[in-house]
Amino acid sequence: MLQVPFIRENKDAVIKGLAKRNIDATQMINDVIDLDEDRRGLQTQLDNILAESNSLSKEIGNLYKSGETQKANILKEKTSQLKEDSKALNEQLNEKAEALNQLLYKIPNVPNTLVPSGNSEDDNEEVFRKGDIPVLHKDAIPHWELAKKYDIIDFELGNKITGAGFPVYKGKGARLQRALIAYFLDKNTAAGYTEYQLPHLVNEASGFGTGQLPDKEGQMYHVTEDNLYLIPTAEVPGTNIFRDELLNESDLPIGITGYTPCFRREAGSYGAHVRGLNRLHQFDKVEILRVEHPSRSYKALDEMVEHVKMILDELKLPYRILRLCGGDLGFTSALTYDFEVFSTAQDRWLEISSVSNFETFQANRLKLRFKNSDGKNELAHTLNGSSLALPRVLAGILENYQTEDGIKIPDVLVPYTGFEKI
């Protein structure tokens, strides 16, 4: 959530920045400023009434002590009216504050100056590419056919048990899935991230804290009776560890990692681009999160990008990095880099990671602050990244490592799988 003082002081820059998202935010920003002016005006009136009421209370006490009861009673009537006035002002103030908050919840983060303008994923900017695209044998097939051929993932069984988008991993497929999770966690902890096991459901406050609510409410599974949400990513419970926390500057930076299943209702379109593991309702992901001092958060973002690059280099998968344009940028992000692996059998790029800097946007919602060197409370910056999302990484391995007599396992995973080939 954007800070009101920041909006007031940088009105034109905020409107210009949000235009990169193809949003004309002029009216919303003017409404924020007007509501804040009204709120501050009401607060001033309330403060004056409370100050007058306190002053009269002292005067009434002195009058009673001096025996001037009649004068004291007259002033008591006045304080009673002031109490009524303050109650009415409090109600108006709460209404204005709520209206202001509801409007602020609708305004996305302002893109960083590095974010290119654009309308959709077609306008994203490729900033890096590495790895040779393998030449497969003439009978190469996509991963959903490989999964059936070698009996390692059963999409039909998942459909029977639950529905489309809930695959069942079997035998060496399950072992490879577990190997990837362990490998990702080991790489992350070796890089200094502390491992957490996190809840798979969160409350409403957590959803608002990281920006999934109200923006992505329709994409999450909602347990209505308990008003809990199945997590769409470990970012939500992981970042909410720090909700309502006041840290010391010496605590920063903080880095955590965690494996969770992720649940998303968004899957549901049809065609080859969403077949198999390409888009799921339930999938596994290992996440990395950072809480940073504002002065070094973009250096931290670069470090996270390099970390994911190192993992993909070890897996020896061809990949590229895209800087997302304004039209494709997530609601809460100031700058996002997407990693994509090339699927040779499908002849297309598959997104396998997003690494983002949210600056103070989430921290303001979370009330995540630290005491700086001047002794003042300051909002921290939050960042997160997939390290990595498993389905499309697995799809890339199955397709790019397939041979005529099986699927070779990347060398770096063999110690985790215990086998070299499926």
What tokens were used for 182? Answer: 């362990």
Query: What does the pLDDT read at residue 273?
Result: 65
pLDDT averaged over the chain? 95
What pLDDT, on the 0 to 100 scale, is given for residue 182?
Answer: 98
* Angle between helical axes of 390-400 and 171-190 (0-180°, round to 10): 120
Q: What is the pTM of this model?
A: 0.92
Burial 124-150 (b: 16+ CB within 10 A, else e): beeeeeebeeeebeeebbbbbbbbeeb
Confirm or deny that 352 is annotated as ligand binding: yes
Q: Which two tokens stand for residue 198?
A: 């996190």
343 is in an annotated binding site: no
| 130: its two tokens | 């590495």
Residue 240 marked ligand-binding = no
Residue 132 gets which letter from DSSP?
P
Residue-wise pLDDT tens digits, 302-343: 999 999 999 999 999 999 999 999 999 999 999 999 999 999
* Residue 271 pLDDT greater than 70, yes or no: no
Ligand-binding annotation for 59, yes or no, is no
Tell whether residue 417 is among the known ligand binding residues.
no
Residue 352 is inside which H or E element, if any?
strand 348-359
378 is in an annotated binding site: no
pLDDT for the residue numbered 415: 98
Bridge-based pairing of strands 168-169 and 201-203 is unpaired
* The pLDDT of residue 268 is above 60: no
SS3 content of the chain, % helix, strand, coil (to 5): 45, 20, 30
Taking residue 277's Cβ as centre, other Cβ atoms within 10 Å add up to: 23
Asked if residue 272 has pLDDT above 60, the reply is no
* 303 annotated binding-site participant: no
The neighbouring-strand residues paired with 129 are 320
pLDDT-derived band at 68, boundaries 50, 70, 90:
confident
Question: Which residues 6+ apart lie within 8 Å of 335 measured at CB?
Answer: 111, 112, 114, 115, 298, 301, 323, 324, 329, 356, 357
Which pLDDT belongs to residue 270?
Answer: 52
User: Among candidates 356, 352, 311, which has minimal Cα distance to 335?
Assistant: 356
Check the annotation: does 55 bind a ligand.
Answer: no
pLDDT at 217 over 80: no
By DSSP bridging, strand 254-263 and strand 194-195 are parallel
- Known binder of ligand: residue 373? no
Beta strands 406-407; 402-403: pairing state = antiparallel
Return the pLDDT at 149: 98
What pLDDT is stored for residue 335 in this prediction?
Answer: 98
Q: What pLDDT score was predicted for residue 269?
A: 52
The pLDDT of residue 218: 83
pLDDT at 189 exceeding the cut of 60: yes
pLDDT at 285: 98
353 is in an annotated binding site: yes
Q: What is the pLDDT of residues 362-394, one digit of tens each?
A: 999 999 999 999 999 999 999 999 999 999 999
Give the domains, in start order, of the chain with CATH numbers. Answer: 4-105 (1.10.287.40), 121-417 (3.30.930.10)
The secondary structure element, H or E, covering residue 376 is none
Statement: residue 123 has pLDDT above 70: yes
**Residues facing 130 on adjacent strands:** 319
Instruction: Find, among 67, 69, 44, 72, the residue nearest to 56 by Cα.
Output: 72
Tokens of 96: 């204005």
Distance from C-alpha of 189 to C-alpha of 25, rounded to nearest angstrom: 41
Confidence label for 74 from pLDDT (cuts 50, 70 and 90): confident
Which residues lie below 8 Å from residue 144, measured CB to CB, with a gap of 6+? Answer: 153, 155, 275, 276, 277
Average pLDDT over residues 100-123: 96
- E strands present in 278-347: 282-292, 319-323, 335-343
- 6 vs 139, 316, 332, 388, CA distance in Å? 59, 44, 16, 34
